[in-house]
A and B are shown apart, each in its own frame.
Chain A
Amino acid sequence: MNYLKSSYAYWDIIYLLPKRSRGYIKRCSAFTACITLSACASFSQDGGFAVVQQTATDKLHKNVQWIKSDVDRQQVNDRNKELLAQALTVDAAVQLALLNNKGLQASFDTLGIAESDLVQAGRMSNPGFSFSRLRRGDEVEFDRGISFNIARLIAMPLTSKMERHRFEQTQRQVMMEMLIMAAETRKAYFIAVAAEESVRYLQQVKRSAEAGAELAKRMKAAGNFNSLQEARELSFYSDAALNLARADQARIRSRERLIRLLGIDQFSEENTGVTSFKLPERLPDLPDVLTLTDVKTESDEEATVINKLVVQRLDVQAAKLNTQQLAESLGLNKVTRFINVLELGGVRNTSNQQATQHGYEVRLELPLFDWGTARTAKAEALYMQAVNQANQTALEARSEIREAYANYRASYDIARHYRDEVVPLKKRISQENQLRYNGMFISVFDLLADARSQITSVNSAIDALKDFWLAQADLEMSMTGKPSMISSQSTVISVSGSAAEH
């Protein structure tokens, strides 16, 4: 909104009052006006935070708190303790982040700053007084003066409105940041849990390889293996150790990222009242049915459903408001037609008189104006720029929702396939291999190789499950704002599966 600000210049004029003047107050009729005006712009009870809190309740089903006092801090600390008493759930993680993330608190502070700007804009600034005493020989000259911002006085109705807009933008900004932060926490949580799970499995792989290596050494010592056979088993072991180290590295990174989002420094008990958090052993199970199925991508309703979601998005709403405010500030009022920014570039000629209520929910219509009344080409350019930006925002939103939904469906199918097909099959293979070991058809080394391969498939299943939960977080986010859509760093590791090819 830079151009908004730059459109208005602020300047102070200092009125010098006549010397030895006494009645300056009376002469300043404008001053009274300013006192009257200032009464309409005072600090709100909640500093504009209630809307943010409402959003947290509506969209996240969580509480959010703007910590301003020791009492607030104590309340948060108590809640922290409660939340951290058991292994962390994803909801607890989001709640913790909402309460403790310092970046979020900082953005609440922006809200405070924006509000004070708003209040400031609605107030006449305090008049400045000056007094000077000059001596010229025995002549003493008193010079009293009063100064105040007259331009501000003139511009006050306009700037107040602008600051109101700016404040609302800030509110939206803060809400967006909060939602994004919640989504990121969600994702970071799943990544961290999956990473811990992976480490445990890779420890098992390592143990299996270790057993194989130890056995191979003994085989060599007994003269049953040659150096080549021994070296092969040892190399499985060294690979396994490497994979474990990598997984542990990923675990530490994911945990630290979660710590940053939660705003809980496990080494600073003072701040949070807690020392650490404990992650659960496993990711939540794959749901039996998909819950977020509002988005239908195959039917004719697709556009309708997606558009409905698009108009709910905060970024889209912001873009729309932006054009409205811009139109206002540019003094545009004579609407000639409407353009639906959801219909890629398609201009709809809609008369001003016609009801635009019809299907409004799923349309995002912006007015076009009679440029003849606009004074400058710059105004038109500015406005069209905003319209195009709104168009782009809406287009991206649609695409993001579609992508997020497709990703959600696909990752569900993949995770389910792992759960219902891949892992049970691997398990069956292992059972059959056990029977073959019993019958002396395969060796213990084959059995160990199979165990490694089974664990790898379980690990891939965990990865797929994690991808599903990430996709769900992205889909949820895509319905309120821009999703990050960054899939986690894959923790799938390759484990050389078979020692059978001796």
Chain B
Amino acid sequence: MTNRRHFLSGMGTMAGAVAGTIAAAVTGASVSKVAMAALPEPATQITPDTMPPLHPTTGRPYNPVVTLNGWTLPWRMNNGIKEFHLVAEPVVREMAPGFKAHLWGYNGQSPGPTIEVVEGDRVRIFVTNRLPEHTSVHWHGQRLPNGMDGVSGLTQPSIQPGKTFVYEFVARRPGTFMYHPHADEMVQMAMGMMGFWITHPKTKHPLIDEVDRDFVFLLNAYDIDPGAYTPKIMTMLDFNLWSWNSRIFPGIDPLVVRKNDKVRIRIGNLTMTNHPIHIHGHEFQVTGTDGGAIPKTARWPEVTTDIAVGQMRQIEFVANEEGDWAFHCHKSHHTMNAMGHTVPTMIGVDHAKVAKEITDLVPAYMAMGDSGMADMAQMQMPLPDNTAPMMTGDGPFGSVDMGGMFSVVKVRKNQAAGDYKDPGWYQHPKGTVAFEWVGALPEAKRLSPEGTQAAPENIKPEKEIEVQIRKPEGHMHHP
């Protein structure tokens, strides 16, 4: 169809790269080809890589965003109306190299493609349902006619499998938004159905600064048993995969910026818990929420901002410190991949002798955990199929021991404008890396306590509790 060619030709400098990864979806048997003829051909994405920004060639100009491990949905202009086509469908999402999940998403990926429009645009979105059950799309945070709000049963009939619905409204308010189903919502979000929406300001906005790099991603969480592929949709609390755009470390791409770039990162939370997102080496300000831009007088500097459930935060900072700066959720379990939450602590338990007995019985057994869990990342033992290690990541100085919601902001002096390619590990200037002290260690000074407890206890313990701390001695390495 001509409109597809039109999309491809409109992709500016990065068009070649994008063209390679966008393919026309084969029209599903459940959707009549004749019925689809009047619709924009749905584009689909086959890789989980971060696509370069999609520079607009039609409609009002704007400065596009970069979706972390994602892409922006092409559109067509139809009598001044921006037409998009979302296809809700089952997808296979690579959450990390070697680990794929069977999710539901839009246009080939979960999350779905980012929709970018400009304040005042009239937008028409065709939504085709290729799921086995009904769905709907709610345009989170938008000002729109009530009947376009996408709450099935309440504001519209649900979209039955095989059917296509049309949503149409004017993007009235500039800002950061999301979209997600509002039909069997719990299941469909647990399965990965969600996407980002950016409404760029029409003109220069006093509270919306122009930035050099504008990243977006959604926080999501899954519970996939090690060795399985499909999320357990009934899980409420004990998720084992904490992801950004349905990717987990080490599968999350770095946020590559040029030194002194003004950087904006927009983050939306569609998990069922809050996430304190933290950056190293810089301070940022929260400049907006899904409610809109924050008055400059109300902003304050932070290095961590908590993003509550269903909220969006846009943070901004000037990337003026070169390096590979960790960027992650500060809940430490959220920077781990799947693990056994009931595995007992083995720290301080010398099981070398017992290990021999166990090995007789379980030949592949290896003692782990008696000095902590980092063994896990170092030993690289075989895992169940399709399972990301609990902690992993091979950094320039060894294992990063991380998983889940963790990535790196790479600030480089020589990164070209508009270049998002990974520049590799940071080359530290001489003498700026922590190093091992090889001299003598002075005796630790003991301080006498000065405080006392608030009140004496009523019942004294029968015997004083001894706290034993096993201090590392000599080489603690495992075979």
Interface residues of A (CB under 8 A from B): 204, 207-208, 210-211, 214-215, 218-219, 221-225, 229, 430, 432, 434-445, 447-448, 451, 502
Measured CB to CB, the nearest residue on chain A to B344 is A443
Instruction: Give every chain A residue within 8 A of B348 (Cβ-Cβ).
Output: 222-224
CB distance from B370 to the nearest CB of A (A): 9
CB distance from B401 to the nearest CB of A (A): 12
CB distance from A244 to the nearest CB of B (A): 14
Measured CB to CB, the nearest residue on chain B to A225 is B344
CB distance from B336 to the nearest CB of A (A): 9
Contact between chains at B340 and A218 (CB < 8 Å): no
Contact between chains at A439 and B344 (CB < 8 Å): no
The answer to the question of B31 belonging to the interface, with a C-beta cut-off of 8 Å to chain A, is: no
Contact with A along B461-474 (1 / 0, CB 8 A): 00000001010000
Contact between chains at A441 and B338 (CB < 8 Å): yes
Contact between chains at B357 and A218 (CB < 8 Å): no
Stretch of B200-208, B290-298, B361-369 with 4 or more beta carbons under 8 angstroms from chain A = B361-369
Contact between chains at B357 and A447 (CB < 8 Å): no
CB pairs A–B below 8 angstroms (30 shown): A204-B360, A204-B361, A207-B361, A211-B357, A214-B353, A214-B357, A222-B347, A222-B470, A224-B344, A224-B345, A224-B347, A229-B344, A432-B384, A435-B227, A435-B382, A435-B384, A435-B387, A436-B226, A438-B366, A438-B379, A439-B226, A440-B339, A441-B343, A442-B343, A443-B342, A445-B344, A447-B362, A448-B361, A448-B362, A451-B362
Instruction: Give every chain B residue within 8 A of A448 (Cβ-Cβ).
Output: 358, 361-362
Instruction: Give every chain A residue within 8 A of B373 (Cβ-Cβ).
Output: 440
Instruction: Give every chain B residue within 8 A of A447 (Cβ-Cβ).
Output: 358, 362, 365
Contact between chains at B226 and A434 (CB < 8 Å): no
CB distance from A241 to the nearest CB of B (A): 15
Contact between chains at A438 and B381 (CB < 8 Å): yes
Contact between chains at B368 and A440 (CB < 8 Å): yes
Contact between chains at B343 and A439 (CB < 8 Å): no
Contact between chains at B351 and A440 (CB < 8 Å): no
Instruction: Give every chain A residue within 8 A of B339 (Cβ-Cβ).
Output: 439-441
CB distance from A82 to the nearest CB of B (A): 37
Instruction: Give every chain A residue within 8 A of B308 (Cβ-Cβ).
Output: none
The answer to the question of B389 belonging to the interface, with a C-beta cut-off of 8 Å to chain A, is: yes
Contact with A along B6-29 (1 / 0, CB 8 A): 000000000000000000000000
Contact among B361, B389, B468 for A451, CB-based, below 8 A: B361
Instruction: Give every chain B residue within 8 A of A439 (Cβ-Cβ).
Output: 226, 338-340, 376, 381, 383-384, 387, 389-390
Additional A-B contact list (8), CB under 8 Å, known A224-B348, A225-B344: A207-B360, A211-B358, A222-B348, A435-B387, A439-B340, A440-B373, A443-B343, A448-B362
Instruction: Give every chain A residue within 8 A of B368 (Cβ-Cβ).
Output: 440
Measured CB to CB, the nearest residue on chain A to B375 is A440
Instruction: Give every chain B residue within 8 A of A434 (Cβ-Cβ).
Output: 362, 364-365
> How many Å lie between the Cα of A208 and that of B365 in the bound state?
12
Contact between chains at A208 and B382 (CB < 8 Å): no
Contact between chains at A440 and B390 (CB < 8 Å): yes
The answer to the question of B350 belonging to the interface, with a C-beta cut-off of 8 Å to chain A, is: yes
Interface SS of chain A: helix
Instruction: Give every chain A residue within 8 A of B360 (Cβ-Cβ).
Output: 204, 207
The answer to the question of B454 belonging to the interface, with a C-beta cut-off of 8 Å to chain A, is: no
Contact with A along B373-399 (1 / 0, CB 8 A): 100100101111001011000000000
Contact between chains at A437 and B346 (CB < 8 Å): no
CB distance from B96 to the nearest CB of A (A): 14
Contact between chains at A441 and B340 (CB < 8 Å): yes
Instruction: Give every chain A residue within 8 A of B441 (Cβ-Cβ).
Output: none
Contact between chains at A438 and B382 (CB < 8 Å): yes
A-B pairs with lowest CB-CB distance, top 8: A438-B381, A441-B340, A222-B348, A211-B357, A435-B384, A439-B383, A443-B343, A224-B345
Measured CB to CB, the nearest residue on chain A to B468 is A223
The answer to the question of B354 belonging to the interface, with a C-beta cut-off of 8 Å to chain A, is: yes
Instruction: Known A222-B349, A438-B381, A443-B340; judge A211-B387 contact (CB<8 A).
Output: no
> How many Å lie between the Cα of A439 and that of B347 in the bound state?
17
Instruction: Give every chain A residue within 8 A of B358 (Cβ-Cβ).
Output: 208, 211, 444, 447-448
CB distance from A175 to the nearest CB of B (A): 50
CB distance from A418 to the nearest CB of B (A): 21
Contact between chains at A215 and B383 (CB < 8 Å): no
Instruction: Give every chain A residue within 8 A of B226 (Cβ-Cβ).
Output: 435-436, 439, 441
Instruction: Give every chain A residue within 8 A of B384 (Cβ-Cβ).
Output: 432, 435-436, 439, 441
CB distance from B449 to the nearest CB of A (A): 23
Measured CB to CB, the nearest residue on chain B to A501 is B342
> How many Å lie between the Cα of A215 and that of B384 in the bound state?
25
Contact between chains at B354 and A440 (CB < 8 Å): no
CB distance from B235 to the nearest CB of A (A): 15
> How many Å lie between the Cα of A443 and that of B350 in the bound state?
15
Instruction: Give every chain A residue within 8 A of B346 (Cβ-Cβ).
Output: 219, 224, 443-444
Contact between chains at B349 and A215 (CB < 8 Å): yes
Contact between chains at B382 and A436 (CB < 8 Å): no
> How many Å lie between the Cα of A222 and that of B338 in the bound state?
26
Measured CB to CB, the nearest residue on chain B to A214 is B354
CB distance from A439 to the nearest CB of B (A): 5
Contact between chains at B357 and A210 (CB < 8 Å): yes
Instruction: Give every chain B residue within 8 A of A219 (Cβ-Cβ).
Output: 344, 346, 349
> How many Å lie between the Cα of A211 and that of B360 in the bound state?
10
Instruction: Give every chain B residue within 8 A of A229 (Cβ-Cβ).
Output: 344
CB distance from B166 to the nearest CB of A (A): 46
Instruction: Give every chain A residue within 8 A of B340 (Cβ-Cβ).
Output: 436, 439-443
> How many Å lie between the Cα of A208 and that of B353 in the bound state?
13
Contact among B361, B369, B381, B470 for A211, CB-based, below 8 A: B361
Instruction: Give every chain B residue within 8 A of A444 (Cβ-Cβ).
Output: 346, 351, 358, 365, 367
Instruction: Give every chain B residue within 8 A of A208 (Cβ-Cβ).
Output: 357-358, 361
Contact among B343, B349, B361, B390 for A218, CB-based, below 8 A: B349
Measured CB to CB, the nearest residue on chain A to B467 is A223
